[in-house]
């Protein structure tokens, strides 16, 4: 049955458009707010070709599969004139319920604020990382010095550098937007941090180490994006206070001049050296675990990080990882933490496949259809439907999935996989790895997580758990 026929059958069997208050969709389901439940022919609806399941809750949830839900939703709204209700789903309800029960601490609020700075940059981070990876691949396999491939290599390096070389400026602009400052001034703070003139200023104050520039108290790029974020926060506070004191007629001239003068002095001579010390310390600390030459340390750290990542997500602490990714990308030229943590979603996939088998044994069709609908997204790195719709509501499978992910994380850490960017996990993240060998090892890590999550869930989760869920 085509999508138009499916939409029409659904509309007819729920009592017509007059019985629908609003419509919404998620990745796998069409959700309808029903006015009179007695008019809905549930049994007939379940028997419609293309309907994989029906869930009755506050809204009527009709499972039609990944990709198709949006198409059917569009027909329901555009052709039948049903009111739009927003993109929500059962797993999103579970997620919202869980989050609503958590207290929003100052730490979580701060981490979310930092996360909001980087979220708009993710498309550029991914694109730049892919171009950097492609350039590296061409350079390692072909090593052109002239001709067509030389041109392609330089073009890819140009595309990548257009973002990565000016990461601090983009960070400054977005920081100002989040903190309520003028975005252009925030970009200027970011630009200050990467200008060569910083070396002249550092030399004047005796803070520059000419023998080992990276050991300087102050040098170009010192403090990185951590310093830029903190500098723009200070700038935003100063700007607001100056603007209150300056007459409106002089605001356009005086406010930016005074703001940048005060912030620039504080930023260059105070924030950059302090932030440089902190970011250098953070990278050195991470390197103890991430870049250890001891295979035992690598295996243990990879296992623990992957296994505990999703609990961190539930607690809202994962937002704090984004600036760590950025620091690694800026200082090391790649991100080693992201590939390890990406294994967490793969463990969920393996556990879900095991749960599907158990649900099939116990004839739990609802759970089977939920898993089938969520698995494609899980393979592609979108783990929320599996987490909030399958493993977390069941409880123990969430734990076995995490343990399974740990084995994949151990492999990825042991083999030194590094990404050129961060973004979606799962199979779509393979091109983000920095070399063909790293791509292969990342894929092997995913397979290990799939298999381990499956085996551990099969062994330790009893079939009874899925019987009535």
Catalytically active residues, by annotation: 26
3-state helix, strand, coil in the chain (%, to 5): 70, 5, 20
Cα distance between residue 267 and residue 228, in whole Å? 8
* Pair of tokens at residue 369: 């259809």
State the DSSP H helix or E strand holding residue 24, giving kind and residue range, or none if neither. Answer: strand 20-25
**Largest interatomic CA distance in the chain:** 82
User: Per DSSP, which regions of 238-362 are E strands?
Assistant: none
Dig out the tokens for 417 from the structure: 């996989």
- SS3 for 328-381 is HHHHHCCECHHHHHCHHHHHHHHHHHHHHHHHHHCCCHHHHHHHHHHHHHHHCC
Taking Cα atoms as reference points, which of 163, 162, 129, 156 lies closest to residue 142?
156
Separation between Cα atoms, residue 408 and residue 160, nearest integer Å: 29
Q: How far apart are CA 370 and CA 80, in angstroms?
A: 27
Burial (Cβ within 10 Å: 0-12, 13-18, ≥19) of residue 424: middle
Query: Can you tell me the distance from the alpha carbon of 323 to that of 165, in angstroms, rounded to the nearest whole number?
Result: 17
Contact of 410 with 299, CB cutoff 8 Å: yes
Backbone angles phi, psi at 61, to 5 degrees: -105, 120
Residues 6+ apart with CB under 8 A from 9: 1, 48
Report the alpha-carbon distance of residue 409 to residue 338 in Å, rounded.
10
DSSP-derived 3-state class of residue 54:
strand
Residues across the chain: 469
DSSP secondary structure, 68-88, as one string: HHHHHHHHHHHTT-PPB--S-
Report the SS3 class of residue 243.
helix
The residue whose two tokens read 């500098």 is 231
């Amino acid at each position: 049955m085509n999508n138009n026929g499916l939409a029409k059958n659904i509309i007819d069997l729920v009592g017509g458009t007059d019985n629908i208050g609003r419509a919404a969709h998620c990745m796998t389901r069409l959700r309808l707010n029903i006015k009179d439940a007695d008019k809905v022919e549930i049994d007939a609806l379940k028997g419609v070709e293309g309907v994989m399941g029906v869930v009755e809750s506050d809204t009527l949830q009709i499972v039609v599969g990944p990709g198709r839900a949006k198409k059917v939703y569009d027909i329901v709204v555009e052709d039948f004139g049903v009111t739009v209700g927003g993109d929500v789903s059962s797993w999103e309800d579970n997620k919202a319920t869980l989050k609503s029960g958590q207290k929003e601490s100052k730490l979580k609020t701060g981490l979310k604020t930092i996360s909001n700075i980087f979220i708009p940059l993710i498309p550029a981070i991914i694109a730049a990382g892919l171009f950097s990876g492609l350039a590296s691949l061409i350079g390692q396999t072909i090593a052109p010095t002239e001709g067509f491939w030389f041109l392609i290599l330089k073009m890819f390096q140009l595309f990548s550098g257009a973002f990565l070389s000016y990461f601090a400026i983009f960070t400054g602009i977005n920081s100002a937007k989040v903190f309520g400052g003028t975005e252009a001034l925030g970009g200027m703070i970011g630009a200050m941090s990467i200008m060569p003139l910083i070396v002249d200023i550092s030399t004047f104050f005796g803070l520059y180490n000419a023998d080992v520039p990276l050991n300087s108290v102050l040098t170009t790029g010192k403090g990185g994006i951590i310093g830029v974020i903190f500098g723009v926060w200070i700038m935003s506070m100063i700007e607001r206070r100056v603007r209150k004191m300056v007459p409106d007629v002089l605001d356009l001239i005086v406010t930016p001049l005074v703001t940048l003068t005060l912030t620039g002095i504080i930023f260059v001579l105070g924030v950059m050296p302090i932030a440089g010390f902190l970011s250098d310390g953070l990278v050195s600390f991470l390197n103890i675990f991430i870049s250890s030459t001891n295979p035992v340390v690598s295996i243990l750290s990879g296992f623990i990080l992957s296994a505990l990542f999703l609990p961190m997500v539930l607690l809202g602490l994962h937002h704090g990882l984004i600036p760590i990714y950025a620091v690694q990308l800026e200082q090391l030229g790649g991100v080693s933490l992201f590939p390890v943590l990406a294994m967490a979603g793969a463990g969920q996939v393996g556990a879900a496949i095991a749960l599907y088998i158990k649900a099939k044994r116990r004839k739990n069709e609802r759970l089977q259809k939920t898993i089938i609908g969520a698995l494609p997204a899980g393979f592609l790195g979108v783990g929320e439907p599996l987490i909030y719709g399958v493993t977390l509501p069941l409880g123990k499978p969430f734990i076995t999935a995490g343990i399974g992910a740990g084995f994949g994380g151990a492999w990825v850490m042991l083999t030194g996989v590094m990404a050129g960017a961060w973004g979606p996990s799962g199979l779509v993240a393979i091109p983000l790895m920095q070399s063909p060998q790293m791509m292969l090892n990342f894929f092997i890590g995913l397979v290990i997580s799939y298999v381990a999550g499956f085996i551990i869930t099969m062994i330790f989760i009893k079939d009874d758990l899925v019987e009535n869920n």
